[in-house]
A and B are shown apart, each in its own frame.
Chain A
């Protein structure tokens, strides 16, 4: 039996896996549909997103050049890797140059693609995955089974046993206990790692911005805390402008997890600058080709539009039955990218001969294309892989279909009959004659026919429609038509009421509450008293804070008068800083529509104050409220910063059984004082 078929059989027989996959499909499909139902103009946004991505793919060289130029101006060291081996070599050289021993990684599928972890480990480096799901599969020694939720194939009992064995914690089925255990282990990893490795969700060409999304906050840790940050990025993951990025930020989280927005959107420009309290001393970007430029010129180019949201995996009825680990090549190696997108990406990037058969494991139902936020016509691409049309359009004549030989033979015979009405009629007559022998009008075919595994086949009719119609034409036409009720034309759907006046602050408070954050309105004069009261309530004596210059005047003195200890983060002091349980920051601007805060790093504005503590207290001036994410992204302070973040609620994960757990690596509580 072929490795793929062996995997399929094993998946179908694994009750635990079936339960997990079923739960995933049900939940993810529903939350995605709900998230899109509440998005006005969603279809137009998808059209636009498709156009934006195609524009990039069609002019990839120009956008890459612009992107690279801007990154370098921002102080990022850019490397181009032609293939996996080069990419690994580049990372190794950076690691050696800095004497790196321990690497903290946030989720990156590109690193799976290039096989980075084993390569680093072979050189004696310790590599720790810090996304909860990714950490779980790393402890199990297996690859992620889903590009967004790596441990989707597991149930809580599996994780409980794993943590008991590997972390030595008592056996538990309580997901929050497991999450807390992982947090504790990984916190130590973040603080002790010499290098952080992350992926990149989007690169913005016009500004040289690296956008990295993370719910748990680990994607902030690995890009902020260690002294070197290396970002890995497929060279096609670009958008031209920040406005386009705003569009993607509206679509990706909704498609991936049904969230309106991801908790943290890191917006990185460069390394730490002179006088800044935190951030890595060096920031590198590895731009990976690994077959992408060839795909760009091929008939599968549209797959490069993919933004890796995982919606097609969740929507796919085949993925739901077999899971991500079943997607293997002829030799049994993982396809890296599973599901519908993976069944195109793997043959496109890693070879038709090895992975082309994956495209045949699809009923072409189109649920993937329906779910795709950038409207990739996945069934069409799957059909091209089946037809062997994986090269350039000019090479189409040499395309070799990958259909099994018996099927090819059968369909060749079928074609021979079907192009001649006479032969076709003869074949039908033969079938009808065979059908007469079928008991009860049904044929019981053997299992090896495929069809016969679980189904009977209806016996062909004695007389075809052709024959019946020929007889019928001789007889009279049917009776007069009844008065058919005219169909009322579909009434124009009234435009959604736009006129509901809302105050920005009201909307902001509502959205923040929906994210699990808390907002408090008060006057500037009340601030020290209110904050001190909150800290007393939480039993917190000292806070990690932004400096006076970046906060309302007199606030820190006011807090000190109330007996609150105020600490400013300093480079090299991260272990002590990480002990503090509350952080105090300002807010550069906020978006009412999503409840998001824009925080930019810089002198006096350490990003760690909003990241390391369990409680994040933010001060927002109401005049800094803007309508949406797009307004935040074009804020001049963002472009001027080396690193910035959009914060939308407390950190969270749903990596174990999709159960929402608040407070992972970032703060578990967010309180915004609106003055």
Chain B
């Protein structure tokens, strides 16, 4: 029987990059799963949580939990930090809350980041993607350190036909996004981003791949402002074969 997964597309993809959401769906379907999309979903609450505004974050998290309680099956999130918010942030947010903690735990237990889900959840390492050019990979902090996902995207990219993968120096260094940090401390954030942009340029890669649209937005915003190339894409765009 075909498995149906629940897609939590995240508010950034929904609003800024709907085409990435479509790439996610296309890759998942190619891997033999059916994609359902609970229409009531909005934002996981991470921006408020990271700002320290737990009173604002809680209702958003509760809304997300409620929405997905009506949608059985595994939940796939094409963003490392949003997946980490559900898996770890919610447990902190609802610590000591007898009503909501178990509900948060139940959702956390069936939530997976996109590349993690493909490799660990479906056992797929080759999605049949083709890309003619040089790729480099930026490790998103929350994906790497909170979820421990690093091998999975590398494996998926290694199997993209025609693609040459080059190492990004300092790939595990933060790009300076950090959600509200990037607007609260723009000077520090910019200095961190500058370091990332220089490293990207040093690789000579055609495209930078990341698994988090926060990093994508931050790095592309800096590249665009500086009139620099290349650009950053979400891993789903490469895996769907629509990366260029």
Q: What residue in chain A is nearest B43 (Cβ atoms)?
A: A418
> Nearest-CB distance from A607 to chain B (Å)?
44
- For chain A residues 314-362, which have a beta carbon within 8 Å of chain B? 317-318, 321-322, 360-362
Among the listed B180, B192, B194, which residue makes an inter-chain contact with A407, where contact means beta carbons less than 8 Å apart?
Answer: B180
Q: What residue in chain A is nearest B185 (Cβ atoms)?
A: A361
Q: Are B22 and A472 in contact (CB under 8 A)?
A: yes
Q: What residue in chain A is nearest B221 (Cβ atoms)?
A: A455
Among the listed B122, B184, B185, which residue makes an inter-chain contact with A484, where contact means beta carbons less than 8 Å apart?
Answer: B122
A366 to B185 Cα, complex, angstroms: 17
> Nearest-CB distance from B156 to chain A (Å)?
10
In the complex, which residues of chain B have a beta carbon less than 8 angstroms from the beta carbon of A417? 42
A420 to B67 Cα, complex, angstroms: 11
Given A370-B145, A403-B53, A463-B18, verify A455-B63 contact (CB < 8 Å): no
Among the listed B15, B34, B54, B142, which residue makes an inter-chain contact with A366, where contact means beta carbons less than 8 Å apart?
Answer: B142
Given A404-B184, A478-B26, verify A458-B220 contact (CB < 8 Å): yes
A387 to B16 Cα, complex, angstroms: 28
> Nearest-CB distance from A637 to chain B (Å)?
44
> Nearest-CB distance from B121 to chain A (Å)?
11
- For chain A residues 393-450, which have a beta carbon within 8 Å of chain B? 393, 396, 399, 401-404, 407-408, 411-412, 414-415, 417-421, 424, 428, 431-432, 442, 444, 447, 449-450
Q: Are A454 and B225 in contact (CB under 8 A)?
A: yes
Given A370-B145, A451-B183, A458-B221, verify A386-B52 contact (CB < 8 Å): yes
Q: Are B225 and A456 in contact (CB under 8 A)?
A: yes
Cβ contacts A464-498/B at 8 Å (1 or 0 each): 11111110110001110110111110100000000
Q: Are A442 and B184 in contact (CB under 8 A)?
A: no
Task: Count chain A CB atoms within 10 A of each CB in B15, B21, B220 and give the residue with the most.
Answer: B15
Q: Are A487 and B125 in contact (CB under 8 A)?
A: yes
Q: Are A442 and B224 in contact (CB under 8 A)?
A: yes
Q: Are B126 and A465 in contact (CB under 8 A)?
A: no
Among the listed B50, B54, B124, which residue makes an inter-chain contact with A364, where contact means beta carbons less than 8 Å apart?
Answer: B50
Q: Are A478 and B191 in contact (CB under 8 A)?
A: no
In the complex, which residues of chain B have a beta carbon less than 8 angstroms from the beta carbon of A367? 141, 145, 172-174
Q: What residue in chain B is nearest A299 (Cβ atoms)?
A: B95
Any chain A CB within 8 A of the CB of B206? Answer: no
Task: Count chain B CB atoms within 10 A of each CB in A361, A402, A465 and give the residue with the most.
Answer: A465
Any chain B CB within 8 A of the CB of A365? Answer: yes
Any chain B CB within 8 A of the CB of A96? Answer: no
A442 to B128 Cα, complex, angstroms: 32
Q: What residue in chain A is nearest B145 (Cβ atoms)?
A: A366
Given A411-B47, A465-B9, A477-B29, verify A387-B52 contact (CB < 8 Å): yes
In the complex, which residues of chain B have a beta carbon less than 8 angstroms from the beta carbon of A380? 92
Cβ contacts B16-56/A at 8 Å (1 or 0 each): 11110110011001111010010111110101111111111
Q: What residue in chain A is nearest B226 (Cβ atoms)?
A: A454
Task: Count chain A CB atoms within 10 A of each CB in B30, B173, B185 and give the residue with the most.
Answer: B185
Q: Are A364 and B220 in contact (CB under 8 A)?
A: no
Q: Are B51 and A403 in contact (CB under 8 A)?
A: yes
A528 to B243 Cα, complex, angstroms: 77
Count: A-B pairs, CB below 8 Å: 249
Q: Are A428 and B15 in contact (CB under 8 A)?
A: yes
In the complex, which residues of chain A have a beta carbon less than 8 angstroms from the beta carbon of B31? 481, 484
A129 to B208 Cα, complex, angstroms: 49
Any chain B CB within 8 A of the CB of A460? Answer: yes
Q: What residue in chain A is nearest B60 (Cβ atoms)?
A: A418
What's the tally of chain B residues with a CB closer than 8 Å to chain A? 88
Cβ contacts B179-193/A at 8 Å (1 or 0 each): 111111111111111
In the complex, which residues of chain B have a beta carbon less than 8 angstroms from the beta carbon of A306? none
Any chain B CB within 8 A of the CB of A453? Answer: yes
A553 to B195 Cα, complex, angstroms: 64
Any chain B CB within 8 A of the CB of A126? Answer: no
Any chain B CB within 8 A of the CB of A573? Answer: no
Q: Are B128 and A401 in contact (CB under 8 A)?
A: no
Q: What residue in chain B is nearest A478 (Cβ atoms)?
A: B29
Cβ contacts B139-174/A at 8 Å (1 or 0 each): 001101110000100010001000000000000111
Given A8-B185, A411-B47, A487-B155, verify A460-B16 contact (CB < 8 Å): yes
Q: Are A461 and B141 in contact (CB under 8 A)?
A: no
Any chain B CB within 8 A of the CB of A222? Answer: no
Any chain B CB within 8 A of the CB of A169? Answer: no
Given A366-B146, A428-B15, A482-B128, verify A454-B48 contact (CB < 8 Å): no
A465 to B22 Cα, complex, angstroms: 8
Any chain B CB within 8 A of the CB of A363? Answer: yes
Any chain B CB within 8 A of the CB of A383? Answer: yes
In the complex, which residues of chain B have a beta carbon less than 8 angstroms from the beta carbon of A19? none
Given A365-B174, A419-B42, A421-B39, verify A450-B182 contact (CB < 8 Å): yes
Q: What residue in chain A is nearest B28 (Cβ atoms)?
A: A478
Q: Are A369 and B145 in contact (CB under 8 A)?
A: yes
Any chain B CB within 8 A of the CB of A534? Answer: no
Q: Are A318 and B188 in contact (CB under 8 A)?
A: yes
Cβ contacts A373-389/B at 8 Å (1 or 0 each): 00000001001011111
Task: Count chain B CB atoms within 10 A of each CB in A364, A401, A455, A457 and give the residue with the most.
Answer: A455
A339 to B231 Cα, complex, angstroms: 32
In the complex, which residues of chain A have a beta carbon less than 8 angstroms from the beta carbon of B17? 458, 461
- For chain B residues 94-112, which have a beta carbon within 8 Å of chain A? 96
A367 to B96 Cα, complex, angstroms: 28
Q: Are B124 and A461 in contact (CB under 8 A)?
A: no
A385 to B125 Cα, complex, angstroms: 41
A386 to B56 Cα, complex, angstroms: 13
Q: Are B21 and A465 in contact (CB under 8 A)?
A: yes
In the complex, which residues of chain B have a beta carbon less than 8 angstroms from the beta carbon of A467? 18
Any chain B CB within 8 A of the CB of A177? Answer: no
**Known pairs A317-B174, A415-B45 / 10 extra A-B pairs, C-beta < 8 Å:** A363-B174, A363-B176, A386-B50, A444-B225, A450-B189, A460-B15, A481-B29, A485-B125, A486-B124, A487-B125
A positions within 8 Å CB-CB of B: 5, 8-9, 12, 317-318, 321-322, 360-367, 369-370, 380, 383, 385-389, 393, 396, 399, 401-404, 407-408, 411-412, 414-415, 417-421, 424, 428, 431-432, 442, 444, 447, 449-451, 453-458, 460-461, 463-470, 472-473, 477-479, 481-482, 484-488, 490
For this complex, 17 residue pairs linking A to B, each with C-beta atoms less than 8 Å apart, are A318-B192, A363-B192, A364-B179, A365-B174, A386-B50, A401-B51, A401-B55, A411-B48, A415-B60, A418-B60, A421-B41, A424-B43, A450-B183, A469-B37, A478-B30, A482-B30, A484-B126
